[in-house]
Amino acid sequence: MKLSVNDAVRRRATGAALAALVLGGGVVGCSKGAGEESPALTPAAAVAKAAKKTEDITSLHYRMKGEVPGEGRISGEAAMSMKPLAMSMKMTAKDQATDGPVEIRLVGKAMYIGGGLKAAKEMDGKSWIKFDLAALGADKELNTDQLGGGQTDKNPATESTFLTGSKNVKKVGTETVGGVRTTHYKGTIPLDAFRKSLKSQDKATREKREKALDQYTKMGIDAITMDMWIDGADHTKQFRMRGTADKGPLDMTVTFLDFNKPVTVTAPPAKDTVDLAGMMKNARQG
């Protein structure tokens, strides 16, 4: 197997990872409850209450669709568990030459990228490439806010708190999203101001939100316009984030399907998998 094959597969993995990197959202809404908030609950208070609900999340299942700077249009579906840490995602990059969805799995301290039939032809019939995060030294940052050592997905619950950093949150109206009655809120978040406001938060909350902010500031985004749809149980059912990055526009919508339900992710068969760490070791020895 040629080392160039590794490079080709890594390019496919990187494209999917970058698309996944910008995913954000909140706690998925349940199917019960009306969309109208209490008359005494202001838009800012409603958003803060939904952000508080993120602390109870143990798992998420969601769909995403939109445009990623430098990557183009993407769509996909993902499920993730915080404890134990696991994730499964299928992503389609509509503006890239691929032979179908790219699948990403995180199992223990290993991340797997499935490239489909095209990858199998390039890798002697093996359609998966394994990134052993421990062997590659990336597992030190492996937590719910930096899945895959920062290469795949962020914890979607954290991004849902961003709207609390807006000084102009307003109620747009009531809408039905995925069969659930919700209240639609909207606001603009200047990222520098939001980061400064985090100094008043406790250490754990501050560090979690600062890590989530980093991915956007590194993209060159100064401010985010955010729409959030909150259900009658004060959960975020859907969100949309828009901004202007160095490499183009960001416009991502995430709709949550369920939360706090079991998520089981299994590793692909060993016979279908190429171990990147082993490949790199063999290349060095060769």
The CATH number of residue 249's host domain is: 2.50.20.20
| The pLDDT value given to residue 206 | 86
| The pLDDT value given to residue 43 | 95
For residue 183, is pLDDT > 90?
yes
Asked whether residue 157 is assigned to any structural domain, the reply reads: yes
Handedness of CA 40, 45, 47, 49 (dihedral sign): negative
| The pLDDT value given to residue 265 | 94
Q: Convert 72-123 into a string of H (helix), E (strand) and C (coil).
A: EEEEEEEEEECCCCEEEEEEEECCCCCCCCEEEEEECCEEEEECHHHHHHHC
Most confident of 15-24, 72-81, 273-282: 72-81
Asked whether residue 31 is assigned to any structural domain, the reply reads: yes
| The pLDDT value given to residue 27 | 37
Please return the burial class of 272, using the count of CB atoms within 10 Å of its CB with bins 0-12, 13-18 and 19+. Answer: middle
Asked whether residue 286 is assigned to any structural domain, the reply reads: no
Task: Say if CB 43 and CB 185 are below 8 A apart.
Answer: yes
| The pLDDT value given to residue 208 | 81
Q: How far is CA 185 from CA 159, 182, 237, in A?
A: 15, 10, 12
| The pLDDT value given to residue 238 | 93
Which residue did the predictor score with more confidence, 75 or 118?
75
| The pLDDT value given to residue 120 | 63
Q: Which of 240, 244, 239 is nearest to 222 (CA)?
A: 244
Domain enclosing residue 35, as ranges: 3-279
CB neighbours of 259 closer than 8 A, spacing ≥ 6? 27, 28, 57, 58, 59, 60, 61, 235
**37: β partners:** none
| The pLDDT value given to residue 33 | 45
Q: How far is CA 51 from CA 26, 97, 109, 127, 211, in A?
A: 7, 38, 29, 39, 16
Q: How far is CA 79 from CA 42, 149, 215, 256, in A?
A: 32, 17, 21, 10
Helix ranges (DSSP H) in 135-250 = 156-159, 191-197, 203-218
CA angle 78, 84, 86 (to 5 degrees): 30
What are the φ/ψ torsions at residue 38 (nearest 5 degrees)? -60, 140
Asked whether residue 284 is assigned to any structural domain, the reply reads: no
Asked whether residue 151 is assigned to any structural domain, the reply reads: yes
What are the φ/ψ torsions at residue 240 (nearest 5 degrees)? -135, 130
Count of structural domains within the chain: 1
Task: Say if CB 243 and CB 221 are below 8 A apart.
Answer: yes
DSSP state of 143: S
Distance CA 240, CA 26 (A): 10
Asked whether residue 128 is assigned to any structural domain, the reply reads: yes
* Residue 69 CB neighbour total at 10 angstroms: 20
Residue 1 pLDDT class (50, 70, 90 cuts): very low
Which residue did the predictor score with more confidence, 195 or 122?
195
Asked whether residue 285 is assigned to any structural domain, the reply reads: no
CB neighbours of 173 closer than 8 A, spacing ≥ 6? 183, 184
**What's the average model confidence in pLDDT over 30-37?**
44
Asked whether residue 115 is assigned to any structural domain, the reply reads: yes
Q: Which of 163, 175, 6, 21 is nearest to 91 (CA)?
A: 21
